[in-house]
Structure 1
């Protein structure tokens, strides 16, 4: 056998090329939402790959025989139940959830595993909005309070402002929490938490910190996945060092991990998706931008009383953290006339125009690679300086993977599964919810002997949500990130801009978008104006159809929304299509509805739907109401009680935590006791110590249970010991929002979604309902 240490550098590189580690060049380390220009372009599958079985791809034997035999001799072999590829926020959150259910996992990442918050903040900023549902999920693992303490006050980020420059004249402002569209009160009344504006690196810092403290999570860093094979029913995840070793002596770092399941959280350029030959469907190139990251702490003092999350100036300016001076400008460009390539000098000119300053022309090195500092004289006559950190072109797409799972063993989550326009942060938010949906199902199979068919429900449930989100964002938010203009005006702008010649610079177009539209309205062949004085242009445009359209954008709130209640909390899972994981409404109720899945491009959400409507129907998120526990008087949200009881803690540390359902019995204490007695007397079910489990006539043995919680409207209930008892603090609203006039039962899954509902008395239960309820636990 050839000695690896004796190989020359060229031989090692050749080996890595054949093994796919260097398929035409090294791949820079990225995180989800980073490197958008490349991330939104589907990478073609390697020509060396051929189909293996059921969509899993591997190297053809003829081509890989020689190199793989050499690799096999040096690859370290390991085993794990679950491998997670990618240590971005979705990957690390997945690991935390699995640890919560007692499932060990290995997280593979190209990084060095050392999370430095200060260095991370220097990276190109990504998502910055965590919606209400995501904050509910993060609250389950104890991160809501730490994140809430770090985010700026609501008054600093609830506004979108329309100005001539950041420190210039303001001609419009939208307060997204003034309840002008009802979205703010709708969300406030629908959850015990609220949205959060925080830079993604800070979220990642807290996730990494929690993951390091959690049991069963092992990070395998400075490795990347190159291939997936099979060993019987198990997967073999092939890993190689990243970056590739520079000498032969270090070439022995390859690892083969045999595992039962693989979670792909490796971002929009997912290697797992490529290896599995999974395509993307949807819309590409909705809009194109150059993202410019710059720092200017001095703006915090100049913007007192004018703080906002977004500023529409000559582009959409995102204030990631005003106090720390973190800014990102999304400057539009129009291919194919423009390619979005800017020099550093042009970026500085754009930043100066955005701030409202005349550049002085002096640029000095900022002390780090790719960064430099410039300065100018602001409109108020005072000097101001800024640092250019990074810039990159990217394309706004709305794409989802053609399938979310392969063989019931490989699952795509986060950006590997979907790519959305950036507003609302739905890429990250949907990714966290993907992980939350999947984790309890893996735990149910591995810890509770639940049928593996429950894993089929992951794609059935999550893919339609992604489709509705992609279509909804495309439909509702194409009102543009350039000046927040209405869609029709933007379309005219972009169509005209495509007639520009390559010699006309992006700088001219970006600095004078309003002047450009004005000039095109007079002469479509004329070049854009190059004036920096946007305030003067606005005055010229007053009274024109253009200006009136822009004023309507503010007055009628037609700009990009900040809050999306329906997309945020209104996801409904089609449980009647899910195998043994909850199904149609129980016999006799007849009010089960499921969203139409439809092809991409058609949303199951009606046009204009924005507000969230709580529902007690199966497939809906359990509505929020405050419930008071009788034994200690503690008050918490109904969703909080579910998350606390969703993990069954075992007395012995040798026995792992297990997921469990929560069964709410709603009514008077007398009717709740009747429910407990009826369920306990069933041949299919049993009740013991407040737990619902399978009975003596169950077809299979299972350890998955449901914690029983009684909910009554009585002020001082007593005499109940068969279950944990709660008092409805909303005076009957919890019962009403569940769709019950007097009494009934609701079975809630570990992820907070309703699996089954029965409206009526326990005396009305038939054998079919009891048999079905037992089937949910198997």
Structure 2
């Protein structure tokens, strides 16, 4: 097997984290090769919420943020989260409540005004984001892309004061094997990462919070229902009025179907619904039969016939796990980012954003390490990357789990308590070790608890008085951050700081006072507050954000920049 390639950084995995890292390395003129065993991206929408900080990073990638704003759905179609029993305007109690995530912002020409960042949050699904990142990456002179190429393993070489990684790769079509020599290898190859397995890293944390069935389907009929659906609310003058409810997320609480439905694209009618499963029953589910019955279930929720086309249906295990270290302890030259280093519940939308922010933290360190001959300093930088990002991942994971439980608060009010179901399921699992399986199955505890919840919900829907009272209760929950799902976590996204103390102390994270609230601060180790500054170049004046400064001056590397903020900051 011969060496046919040489590069400074080999990136394994063509996802958002890996491609963002490749973009950033181009800014620092670092040669890199990015490989992936796939030849095309999955078209199933997955992660879709892009935070302020991630959009700021995309701004560094040749103004990729502006293209995302151009192609994403208008804010009006994804600004809300809605809880409902039916998707039908003729049903008096169909809408239990709607939460406008951008109700506190001024909106001009369809865009909300964000005073905390020059880059607004976005809603753009990962399948499309991948294509956009790749199209930009093809024009980057320091990046070489190799699709249909599988990373198989590595060998660490240390001789004459030089340290290299020899990676073994396999071209799928036409088949041949070859090696790539690099100074660093970055594993960005997802939850089933081959790079992680090769360096013997294991996840710790909650292996299974919930089992889910994910269905991606296309329905113009359902998209029209979402556009037409209204909710009656009382305005400031205590007058009832009808308002739109087109939402990013729909919590469907119906006896026929319970799940969280994501409207990815209203024009295309592209939806994904996550249906929770009971652990003891997920292996017994007949996917073929469910696929056959699913259109009827959606039609029952809408109380009208809905045409739809199922694109994919799959089981999914939701976990909350993080590695203790994101680097290989033996070489300090194999690094993990994104889902290869952390698995988070989707509640809150932290997972993809965490990976994108891993890339920024790592990119400048790699650029500096490649110019450094001091092995100990390189080791120190890589260890600091790991310590910083592990701490942020733990904080994000903790909040993601809390958000998952917040999302269950409203279903609990109608008797659908998945926590109890899983506890009983775990008890039965333990009981099976000591009690004959037939006796355990005859108990049918899980089925009875679930059916009782559905029965209670069905009775509620037949009682206008009870459901109106429930609706008022849910309205109160919706406006409580602790009792409902939210997507605005500015504190978690922008307000944390790395606490870098003495040389002998480990890096720790200084969390914000609230994960929801951002308070601008100039604390050392924290993202600099956003303010616009103006630069003159010949006869032109340019406006940039203070958060752009590290990238704007990356080639010239100024020794110091002095910024003065007023008392508001």
| TM-score class normalised by the smaller sequence | 0.7 to 0.9
How far apart are 1:525 and its partner, in Å?
A: 6.4
Give the equivalent residue in structure 2 for 1:614: 520
Q: Does 1:310 align with 2:249?
A: yes
2:532 alignment partner, one of 620, 623, 626: 626
Q: Which residue of 2 aligns with 1:132?
A: 52
2:23 paired residue number = 96
Shift of the 551–485 alpha-carbon distance from structure 1 to 2, 3 Å rule, reads farther
1:5-16 matches, within 5 Å, as: none
Checking the alignment, whether the CA contact within 8 Å between 1:174 and 1:554 is kept in structure 2 is: yes
- What residue is the counterpart of 2:562 in the other structure? 665
Structure 2: distance between partners of 1:207 and 1:527 = 46
1:637 and 2:545 aligned = yes
The alignment status of 1:401 with 2:331, answered yes or no, reads no
Measured at CA, do residues 308 and 236 of structure 1 come closer, stay the same or move farther in structure 2, by a change above 3 Å?
A: same
Aligned match of 2:71: 150
1:125/1:230 Cα in 2 relative to 1: closer, same or farther (>3 Å)? same
Range 91-100 or range 267-276, more displaced: 91-100
Once the 2 structures are TM-superposed, how far is the Cα of residue 423 of structure 1 from its aligned partner?
Answer: 2.3
> What is aligned with 1:417?
341
For residue 540 of structure 1, report the CA deviation from its aligned partner. 3.4
Matches within 5 A, 1:279-358: 279-304=202-227, 305-313=244-252, 314-339=258-283, 341-356=285-300
Paired with 1:495 and 1:289, the residues of 2 have a C-alpha distance of 13
For residues 632-651 of structure 1, the C-alpha deviation after alignment (integer angstroms, 9 at most, x for no partner) is 44333211233312233xxx
Residues 453-477 of structure 1: per-residue CA shift (max 9 Å, x gap): 3232211211100011111221243
Indicate whether 1:160 and 2:81 are aligned. yes
Give the greater-gyration-radius structure (CA). Answer: 1
Alignment match, 2:421: 494
Structure 1 position 189, deviation (Å): 2.0
Aligned equivalents of 1:99, 1:525: Cα separation in 2: 56
For the Cα contact (< 8 Å) 1:76–1:254, is it kept in 2?
Answer: no
CA distance in 1, matches of 2:453, 2:404: 28
TM-score (norm 1): 0.60
Deviation at 1:422, TM superposition (A): 0.6
Partner SS state of residue 543, structure 1: helix
In structure 2, the CA distance between the partners of 1:547 and 1:497, relative to structure 1 (3 Å rule), is farther
Give the match for residue 306 of structure 2.
384
How has the CA–CA distance of structure 1 residues 527 and 499 changed in structure 2, closer, same or farther, with 3 Å as cutoff? farther
Over residues 293-322 of structure 1, what are the superposed CA-to-partner deviations in whole Å (9 max), with x where a residue is unaligned? Answer: 111022232222331000011211111112
CA distance in 2, matches of 1:345, 1:235: 50
Cα distance 1:90–1:496, how it changes in 2: closer, same or farther (>3 A)? closer
SS in structure 1 at match of 2:362: helix
**1:266 counterpart = 2:189:** yes
Q: Is the 8 A contact 2:415 2:453 kept in 1?
A: no
Contact in 2 for aligned 1:572/1:595 (Cα 8 Å)? no
Contact 2:295 2:307 in 1 (8 A): no
Distance 1:88 1:144 in 2: 17
Mapped partners of 1:347, 1:577: distance in 2: 59
- Residues 154-185 of structure 1: CA deviation (Å, up to 9, x unaligned): 121111111223346212111111139xxxx9
Q: CA deviation at 1:331?
A: 0.4
Q: Which residue number corresponds to residue 168 of structure 2?
A: 238
The residue number in structure 2 matching 1:704 is: none
- Tell me whether 1:469 sits opposite 2:396 in the alignment: yes
Structure 1 residue aligned with 2:491: 566
Output the CA distance in 2 between the equivalents of 1:416 and 1:390: 24
Q: Which has the higher contact order (CA 8 A, sep 6+)?
A: 2
Distance 1:95 1:456, change over 3 A: same
Q: Secondary structure at the match of 1:610?
A: coil
The answer to whether the aligner puts 1:436 opposite 2:344 as a matched pair is no
Matched, 1:217 2:217: no
Residue 414 of structure 1: how far off its partner (Å)? 0.3
Deviation at 1:548, TM superposition (A): 6.7
**Which blocks of at least 5 consecutive residues in structure 2 are unaligned?**
106-110, 228-243, 253-257, 430-443
Distance 1:474 1:85 in 2: 28
Matches of 1:539 and 1:500, distance apart in 2? 34
> How far apart in 1 are the matches of 2:459 and 2:465?
10
Q: Hey, what's the Cα distance between the residues in 1 that align with 2:135 and 2:562?
A: 38
The whole-number CA distance in structure 2 between the counterparts of 1:607 and 1:540 is 43
Aligned length, in residue pairs? 511
The Cα of 1:188 is off from its aligned counterpart by 2.1
Change (3 A) 1:237 1:494: same
Query: What residue is the counterpart of 1:228 in the other structure?
Result: 154
CA deviation profile, 1:513-557 (whole Å, cap 9, x unmatched): xxxxxx999x956845888x9777434385389767545422435
Report if the CA contact (8 A) 2:530-2:546 is conserved. yes
Moved more, 617-626 or 445-454: 445-454
Aligned-partner Cα distance in 1 for 2:21–2:38: 18
Deviations 1:34-92 (A, max 9, x none): xxxxxxxxxxxxxxxxxxxxxxxxxxxxxxxxxxxxxx4xx554322111111112111
- CA distance in 2: counterparts of 1:469 and 1:526, whole angstroms: 31
- In structure 1, runs of 5+ residues without a counterpart are 1-71, 358-377, 503-518, 584-593, 598-603, 649-659, 667-710, 712-733, 739-778
Structure 2 Cα separation of the partners of residues 192 and 139 of structure 1: 9
Deviation per CA, 1:108-155: give whole Å up to 9, x if none. 11122x66xxxx5xx322101101100000011110111001111112
Q: Which whole-Å deviations, capped at 9, do the CAs of 1:266-308 have from their partners, x for residues lacking one?
A: 1011111111001111112112211111110222322223310
Within 2, Cα distance between the matches of 1:662 and 1:156?
46
Distance 1:501 1:482 in 2: 25
